[in-house]
Amino acid sequence: MKIMLIFFVIAVATMISHNCKGDEVNCLALNIYHEARNQPTVGKLAVAMVTINRVKDERFPNTICGVVLQGHYRNNQPIKNKCQFSWWCDGKSDKPKDLQSWEYSLQLAKSIHEGHLDNIDLVKDATHYHAIYVRPYWVYAKRKIRIIADHVFYSWEK
């Protein structure tokens, strides 16, 4: 319980320091943008659905920002390469540079957050994914769901 409280405090402080301020739509849009901006819409939706699936899964934080910003922290900063989503702790700027892709990601995140796409199930409860050009250690413990664009999607149990 104490560890969860510490994680919560760190996550809130990090959200505030990175202008997320609890804005679930903004956090989801940032994740779509950084993880799938070069993907077709179906790839963007699949990444967003994994984020939402994690929110619904008790093993992960219960907010979008909590899921997106999940990782290991030191001095209120994410430790490089120790986050659930690599863009969050890769040491690069998180400010969107491609404004057209950012606007699209933001509109998609708003639609998802407002429930307009609730009946779409592209990834069948997947909580994990990776780019097709990498092979994370955890793939052997997960059940492969499908490949969409250049990401492979997995559910928790094999």
* pTM, rounded to two decimals: 0.83
Q: Which domain range does residue 68 map to? A: 2-155
54-63 contacts, C-beta under 8 A, 24 or more apart: 54/84, 54/127, 57/127, 57/156, 59/127, 59/156, 60/127, 61/7, 61/11, 63/22, 63/24
**Averaged pLDDT score across all residues of the chain:** 87
For tokens 């939706």, name the residue: 45
Angle at Cα 40 formed by Cα 38 and Cα 46, nearest 5°? 100
Task: Provide the pLDDT confidence category of residue 158 given band limits of 50, 70 and 90.
Answer: low
Comparing 15 with 127, which gets the higher pLDDT? 127
pLDDT in tens, 12-60: 444 444 444 339 999 999 999 999 999 999 999 999 999 999 999 999 9
| Tally of structural domains, the chain | 1
